[in-house]
Structure 1
Amino acid sequence: MKKKQNRMWITWENQRRNRSLSEKTGFILNELISDRGRILRYFLLSFRTYSLIRSNNPSVVVCQNPSVVLVIVCALLKSFFGYKFIVDCHNSGLYPKEGRYNILNRIAIFVNSHADAVIVSNEMLKEDFKHLFKSILVIPDPLPNREHFYDNELGSPIKERRWRSDPRVKFLYVCSWAEDEPYEEVLNAFIDISESKVSCYVTGDFHRKVAEIPENENIIFTGFLSDTDYHDLIISCDAMIVLTRRNDCLTCGAYEALAECKPSIFSDTAIMRNTFGTGFLYSEPFKEDILKNVLLLAEDVSVFYPRIVESRNEFQVNFQKNLVKFEDEVSR
């Protein structure tokens, strides 16, 4: 969408969702970043936010939550500059610290309630919070593509991308080694596979989480990958695994799998099923269920493609409908 000068999207961190959604909605993205200590960073970024809004006098401001401090600053400045104020809460802006602390959840609701509208990532969150805010809009993450949503970093030489020459059925396990990810269950599932026709490429920095790397020919730890190598691995793999123990989480890897129509194993939660549809396999975060689905995909991944293509088309149609609703809200 063509960007409009009187529309501003403000964030205090680098995040793909901000870049992709601001582009899709025609907002000018302002990434205000500082590496100073917390208190000084809040002060500097608050002043830069004020200066930015004062010099541009926008009619609409969208800001990301988190940061709660950014939302407070934009809410206060709205009183002086009179713009329409929208907060993109996605998921974590409604459940800070993964919702573990009730007082933080209440603070988030109070702060977000000062916006004219709140953006969430799915219909289930809208149902949960619709009685608390003036208006709630549903916009999931746009599907990523190589041209817009991955940095153009230099990748490894082709000969070093070992997945290119791997003749086995290649699984990509998208893992950040976070507490909510059942990585031990996934690794144990592949350790239990005796067949040599299957391999699993595991992303992320595993050193702090895995004391002893399992010596298994089925498992390859990639370590940190550049965007170029990571996207190449997505394209080259036969199937993907993206799992979390969180019931309210839409994972970036699932969007990437849908974008490339990769047969995948996702978490068996209502939010994942409702967002990504049929064609994918959904698993509990336990070795037995993961192993069952891995073997099912390994038999013949091609049978899953047609329904995944349909799911991607349905996602794109619904995404455009949600953008129309967003534009209606912004234009009021």
Structure 2
Amino acid sequence: MAAKITDDAVWVTWERQTRNRSASAFFNVPLFEIIYDGSHKATRYAKSVIRTLWILFEKKPRYFFAQNPSVVLAVLAVAVGRLAGCKVIIDAHNAGIHGHEKSGRLLPKLNRFVIRQADAVIVTNQELADHVTLLRGTPIVLPDPLPHFPAVAEPERLDKANKLKALCITSWSDDEPFLDIIGATTQFSDTIDFYFSGNYKKIVDQLPPEMPTNVFLLGFVGEQDFHRHLFSSDFCIDMTRRTDCMVCGAYESIAAEKPIILSDTAVQRGYFSRGTVFSKSGRKDIAVAIETMRDNLASLKAEASELKAEIQKREAAGKATLVSRILEL
């Protein structure tokens, strides 16, 4: 492909997130992850703003890609990017379109401002693209490119019996039916162990006083440990109540050739057409989905591998068109 963005662009994010890495690599754009752990929130913002401005001053890019969230980064991008003469492209995750469930009034207003002011807004599916258009923005649809994982060693399993291992990929957010998933696990105490990733301590008061014996809360795990758990699992679970959300765990699971249980929504059915069991939220529905996964695991694993190859072909076929759209802004 003759057209490239690489030499004239930067991609900035203020968090570690798989999509930023895979999407920036897809466009061949240098990624700058600005992470200041352990600082006071105001200090982190100040340092992140200064570092972002320095990158713009130093690189003088023609194309400035920035993630929303953070909405602070997104507002900075459309404000300063214009002054710097950049084309500003916002990679908007669901919270960058709708806000969080408890975000109040200000965040949606800032999101709408960013959507209207950006030269383009990248979203994962057509439903979100239609919403961006409704808000007078310019959408570009890019599902998460499948990530590439380094070779990892499998961790020792905590169980001693010959059980299956399910990795439940969660951020313990309000849109996730994590209590229903935990409730469903009790029916599989003899056959499946469930490992939950993510910082559960922020919702510990919502958890059952006694967890099922086949549930293991990993807490926040580093990237390498997450990959080890992913590759040592037999299948994954990642669910959301948002009807227009394509969860990151789905891409990670298929990239690792692991079948997955996902929420039964049109946007996810349309993309993850194989290697997937779809379920409504609710303990009974999730239990049925887990049983279906367990009883058809071999064929679903084969389908996950087939779907990975199919998605990779789609990505390769569509790359030139998406790059051209960016270059024409």
Tell me the TM-score normalized by structure 1. 0.84
Instruction: Indicate how the Cα distance of structure 1 residues 309 and 31 shifts in structure 2: closer, same or farther if over 3 A, else same.
Output: closer
| Secondary structure at the counterpart of residue 85 of structure 1 | strand
Note the C-alpha offset of 1:120: 0.6
- Residue identity matched to 1:199: D
| Equivalent residues, number | 322
The answer to whether the aligner puts 1:162 opposite 2:164 as a matched pair is: no
Q: How does 1:206-245 map to 2 (within 5 A)?
A: 206=200, 208=204, 209-216=206-213, 218-245=214-241
The corresponding residue for 2:242 is 246
The corresponding residue for 1:24 is 26
- Residue identity matched to 2:14: W
> Which segments of 5 or more consecutive residues in structure 1 lack a partner in the other structure?
none
Aligned residues of 2:115 and 2:137 also touching (Cα < 8 A) = no
Aligned residues of 1:139 and 1:323 also touching (Cα < 8 A) = no
For each residue in 1:110-152, what CA deviation from the matched residue of structure 2 results, as whole angstroms up to 9, or x when unmatched? Answer: 222111111111121112222434531111222223229xxx9
For each residue in 1:64-85, what CA deviation from the matched residue of structure 2 results, as whole angstroms up to 9, or x when unmatched? Answer: 1122332332223334332222
Q: How does 1:87-102 map to 2 (within 5 A)?
A: 87-98=90-101, 101=104
**CA RMSD between the two structures:** 2.9
Aligned residues of 1:9 and 1:63 also touching (Cα < 8 A) = yes
The corresponding residue for 1:203 is 197
Instruction: Indicate how the Cα distance of structure 1 residues 298 and 115 shifts in structure 2: closer, same or farther if over 3 A, else same.
Output: same
For each residue in 1:27-73, what CA deviation from the matched residue of structure 2 results, as whole angstroms up to 9, or x when unmatched? Answer: 11222334554445444433333332222221111111122332332
Instruction: Indicate how the Cα distance of structure 1 residues 99 and 132 shifts in structure 2: closer, same or farther if over 3 A, else same.
Output: farther
Note the C-alpha offset of 1:328: 0.3
The corresponding residue for 1:127 is 130
- Residue identity matched to 1:293: A
Instruction: Indicate how the Cα distance of structure 1 residues 222 and 4 shifts in structure 2: closer, same or farther if over 3 A, else same.
Output: closer
Instruction: Indicate how the Cα distance of structure 1 residues 85 and 201 shifts in structure 2: closer, same or farther if over 3 A, else same.
Output: closer
Task: Work out the CA distance in 1 between the residues paired with 2:242 and 2:280.
Answer: 11
The answer to whether the aligner puts 1:113 opposite 2:116 as a matched pair is: yes
Task: Work out the CA distance in 2 between the residues paired with 1:206 and 1:85.
Answer: 35
Task: Work out the CA distance in 2 between the residues paired with 1:45 and 1:295.
Answer: 46
Task: Work out the CA distance in 1 between the residues paired with 2:284 and 2:181.
Answer: 9
- Residue identity matched to 2:207: V
| Secondary structure at the counterpart of residue 27 of structure 1 | coil
Instruction: Indicate how the Cα distance of structure 1 residues 66 and 187 shifts in structure 2: closer, same or farther if over 3 A, else same.
Output: closer
- Residue identity matched to 1:198: I
- Residue identity matched to 1:26: N
| Secondary structure at the counterpart of residue 96 of structure 1 | coil
| Secondary structure at the counterpart of residue 96 of structure 2 | coil
For each residue in 1:8-31, what CA deviation from the matched residue of structure 2 results, as whole angstroms up to 9, or x when unmatched? Answer: 112223322222221221111222
- Residue identity matched to 1:301: L
Instruction: Indicate how the Cα distance of structure 1 residues 88 and 140 shifts in structure 2: closer, same or farther if over 3 A, else same.
Output: same
Aligned residues of 2:69 and 2:93 also touching (Cα < 8 A) = no
The corresponding residue for 1:274 is 270
Instruction: Indicate how the Cα distance of structure 1 residues 77 and 306 shifts in structure 2: closer, same or farther if over 3 A, else same.
Output: same
Of 112-121 and 15-24, the range deviating more from structure 2: 15-24
Larger gyration radius, structure 1 or structure 2: 1
Aligned residues of 1:120 and 1:126 also touching (Cα < 8 A) = yes
> Which segments of 5 or more consecutive residues in structure 2 lack a partner in the other structure?
none
Task: Work out the CA distance in 1 between the residues paired with 2:239 and 2:256.
Answer: 18
